[in-house]
Amino acid sequence: MMFIRQLSICLTLLFSPFVASDELQQAAIASAHPLATQAGLEILQQGGNAFDAAVAVSAALAVVEPAGSGLGGGGFWLLHRAEDGFQTMVDGRETAPAAAHRDMYLDDNGKVDKQLSLDGALAAGIPGVPAALDHLSQHYGRLPLTQTLAPAIRYAQQGFSVTKHYQQLAQFRLTTLNQSAEARTTFLTNGQVPELNSKIIQHNLAATLQQLAQHGRAGFYQGEVADKLINSVQQAGGIWTQQDLRNYQVKERTPITGSYQGYKVTSVAPPSSGGIVLLSMLNQLEQLDYQHADIHQQRHLLTEVMRRAYFDRSRYMGDTDFVSVPVQKLSSKTYAKTLAATIDNQLASSSKQLAAPPSKGEDTTHFSIIDNQGNRVSATLSINYPFGSAFVADGTGVLLNDEMDDFSAQIGAANVYGLVGNEANAIEANKRPLSSMSPTFIENDQQLMVIGTPGGSRIITMVLLGILDFINGEDADTIVSKPRFHHQYLPDVIQVETPGFEAAELTALEQRGHNIKPLNRRYGNMQIIIHDKHSNSLTAASDPRGEGMARVH
C-alpha cells in the first residue's frame, strides 16, 4: 500500500508538467526578530510569495529592530525566482548626496574627524530601503504594499517590547541619541535607556510607512515626507536636497557567481565587496591542502586567504558605477592560484609585507526566506552603526543611516570597522559606499543554503566559515552557533570570539606566527535556511547570539 502511494507520487512528479522541480511542501523564514519573522509568515499565509514576505520582513525590522536597519538605510536583496531560475541582486544601497565631496570629513588639519561620518545628519547617505521595497513589490511580488506593509504599520502603532539587546545598543549610542530631539523621544525614556519590556511606539514612522504603502516610492522621496526629511536634515547641518531624494535609483545587478567543491555559490556584486571577497577566499582554499589539514592548520590557511582577499578589497574595490574594479579577475580561479602560491604552509605572512599599503589615489540585519514554490530571498540591510547616525528627521520617525562612514574618508585611514580603502572607495557625489554585506546562496544537487549576517567587516568571513561548515555536513543550528574568527589584512591580527576558543587552539596559531586579538565578546547574527533536496525538507536557524526567530512552516 505504502509502496503504491510512493510510486504514484513519483509518477506524478515525473509526468506532471505543473510541478516545478523547486516546489516544496514548506516555507521558512529566519530573521533577527520574532515579530519580523511573524510578519513574513503572515504575508505568506495571505498568498504572498517570498518577495512579498521579504518586503514585510524588511519593513517590520525597520520598526522592531531600529538599531539595525530601517527606512533611513539601505541594503541588498539577493533573489532567486523558482519559475525560471532567474537570479538578481536588488541594490538599495545608500548614495552620497550630490554635495558630498572627498574631503568632507576632514578637520582643519586634514585629519579625519570620525564623529562627522558617524553621528548626526551629515553622516547619512540618501536612503535606498523605501525605493527598494517598492521595487521588490512592483517587479517580483504578488500583493500590494498596502498589504505587505500592514504588519510593520501595526507594530509601529502598537509598539514593540524593549529587550536586553536593545538596551545595550541604546546605552552604546545614548549620548548621540540624546542630541536628536525625535530620536530622544522615540527611543529613550527621559533621555535614559528605557526599561526592559517597556514599549517603543512610533506613530510618526507608522504615518511615513502609510505614505509609502499608499503612494509607493513617491510617498517617501517626494511630497510631505520628503519636505520634512530635507528641512530636518538641513537644519541639523546635513547636505541633502530634494533633488537627491528624487534622483535616488534602485539598481538591479547581476550577482557574482562561482563554484567551490562542486557547489554553486551566488552572492552580491559591487557596491558590496562581499561576493568577490568570498569567492576569492574559496578559490584560494581550493588551491591549498585545506580539506585534509588538521583544524589548527585549517585556521592558519583560512587566515592567510582572508588576509589576501581583504587586501584586494582595500586596494581595488568601490562602486563599479564610478570606478572600474577588475571583478572577473579578482573572482577567478587563475588569479586565486597566484594568491595561494604566496601562502606559506607553516608560517603567517605579514600584511605589511604583502605589498605596499594603499597608495594615494553593529548594527545591521539579515533575513533568509524560502517559500513553498522555491522562491528565495537572502537580504542584508543596514543603517551601519547601532542606531545609524542616531538622528531622526523631525516628524518622520525615520532614523537616518551613517553609511557615509563606509567610504574611505581619507586614503588609507581606517573606518569604524578598521577597514582601510583606496581611491576606488573615495567619497564622490551620488556614489555608493563599499559594503561588506554578503547575502549568499550556495547549492549543489543535494542541498542548498540561504545565508547571511550583520557584523561590519567580519560579515564576509562569517559567511565563509558558515559555507565551509555547511559543506562539511553541519546542521543549521550548529552552523549559526560555532565560534568565529576573522582576519581583514589590516590590522594584522586574527580577531577571535572569546569565549569560544581554548587557549591551546590560540597557541597553535601563535606558533605559526599569527597575532591573536581576543575580542572578549561574540559577534554576528546569522540567519540561515537549509533545503535538503533528498527529503525535500527545510531547516532554519537563527544565531543564538541574537534574539531572532527561525520558523519552518
Q: What is the pattern of x (binds ligand DON, CB under 6 A) and - over residues 9-48?
A: ----------------------------------------
d(CA 246, CA 531): 41
In the structure grid, which three cell numbers stand for residue 369, read together?
526566506
Decide: residue 19, CB within 10 A, 0-12 exposed, 13-18 middle, 19+ buried.
Answer: exposed
Give dist(CA 169, CA 176) in Å, integer. Answer: 12
Angle at 228 between CA 226 and CA 231, to 5 degrees: 105
Are 267 and 274 within 8 A, CB to CB?
yes
> Shortest distance, CB of residue 294 to ligand DON, whole angstroms?
31
Find the binding residues for ligand DON in span 436-455 (CB under 6 A): 436-437, 454-455
Candidate residues 92, 97, 452, 456; the one interacting with ligand DON per rule CB under 6 A: 456
CB 379 within 8 A of CB 30: no
> Could you tell me the smallest distance in angstroms from the CB atom of residue 461 to ligand DON?
12
Q: Which of 208, 283, 415, 435 is the binder for ligand DON (CB under 6 A)?
A: 435
- Residue number, 375 or 435, with CB nearest to ligand DON: 435
Among 182, 304, 363, 443, binds ligand DON (CB under 6 A): 363
Asked if 364 touches ligand DON (CB under 6 A), the answer is yes
**Rule CB under 6 A: is residue 461 a binding residue for ligand DON?**
no
Could you tell me which residues are beta bridge partners of residue 381? 75, 365
Which of 42, 304, 371, 406 forms a contact with ligand DON (CB under 6 A)? 406
β-pairing, 440-443 with 447-451?
Answer: antiparallel
User: Measured from the CB atom, is 263 or 322 closer to ligand DON?
Assistant: 322
Backbone phi, then psi, for 181, in 5-degree steps? -55, -45
End-to-end CA gap in the chain: 28
Closest separation between CB of residue 107 and ligand DON, Å? 23
Confirm or reject binding of residue 117 to ligand DON (CB under 6 A).
no
The yes or no reply on residue 267 touching ligand DON (CB under 6 A) is no
The grid coordinates listed for 288 are 591549498
Cβ-based nearer residue to ligand DON, 442 or 460: 460
Should residue 52 be labelled a site residue for ligand DON when binding is judged by CB under 6 A? no
Nearer to ligand DON, 306 or 509 (CB): 306
Rule CB under 6 A: say whether 270 interacts with ligand DON.
Answer: no
123: Cβ contacts below 8 Å, ≥ 6 apart: 116, 117, 388, 389, 391, 400, 401, 402, 404, 405
Cβ neighbours of 337 (radius 10 Å): 13
Is residue 364 part of the annotated active site? The answer reads: yes
Minimum distance of ligand DON from residue 232's CB (angstroms) = 22
Give yes or no for residue 118 binding ligand DON (CB under 6 A). no
- What phi and psi, each to the nearest 5 degrees, are found at residue 504? -65, -35
Hey, what's the cell of 509?
Answer: 596559531
Closest contact distance (angstroms) between CB of 409 and ligand DON is 14
494-496/516-518 β-pairing: parallel
Chosen residue from 312, 319, 403, 492 binding ligand DON by CB under 6 A: 403
**b/e per residue 468-504 (b: at least 16 CB within 10 A):** bbbbeebebbebbbbebbbbbbbebbbbbbeeebeee
Q: Which of 350, 370, 356 is nearest to 79 (CA)?
A: 370
Stretch that binds ligand DON, among 245-253, 429-437, 489-497, 499-507 (CB under 6 A): 429-437
Span from 29-37, 227-235, 281-289, 357-365 in contact with ligand DON (CB under 6 A): 357-365
Please say which residue, 67 or 467, places its beta carbon nearer to ligand DON: 67
Q: Count residues binding ligand DON (CB under 6 A).
A: 14
Residue 277 near ligand DON by CB under 6 A? no
Q: Which of 382, 495, 527, 539 binds ligand DON (CB under 6 A)?
A: 382
Q: Which is nearer to ligand DON, 137 or 389 (CB)?
A: 389
Q: Sign of the C-alpha dihedral, residues 452, 455, 456, 462?
A: negative
Is 371 a binder of ligand DON (CB under 6 A)?
A: no
Contacts of 159 (CB under 8 A, 6+ apart): 199, 200, 201, 202
Helix pair angle (203-215, 50-64), 10° resolution: 160
Nearer to ligand DON, 134 or 363 (CB): 363
The residue whose grid cell reads 517598492 is: 134
State the nearest-atom distance from the C-beta of 382 to ligand DON, in Å.
Answer: 5
Place of cell 604583502: 354
3-state secondary structure of 167: helix
Closer CB to ligand DON, 69 or 430, in the complex? 69
Question: Interface with ligand DON includes 125 (CB under 6 A)?
Answer: no
Q: Candidates 39-47, 55-63, 139-147, 431-439 — which segment interacts with ligand DON by CB under 6 A?
A: 431-439
362 forms part of the interface with ligand DON (CB under 6 A): yes
Using rule CB under 6 A, residue 65 touches ligand DON: no
Strand partners, 541: 528
Q: Which of 266, 364, 461, 539 is catalytic?
A: 364
H/E stretch holding 150 reads: helix 150-158
From 150-158, 169-177, 344-352, 432-440, give the range in contact with ligand DON by CB under 6 A.
432-440
Q: Select from 69, 280, 368, 384 the one that contacts ligand DON (CB under 6 A).
A: 384
Cα distances from 535 to residues 447, 503, 532, in angstroms, run 10, 41, 6
Residues annotated as catalytic are 364
Interface residues with ligand DON (CB under 6 A) are 362-364, 382, 384, 403, 406, 435-437, 454-456, 459
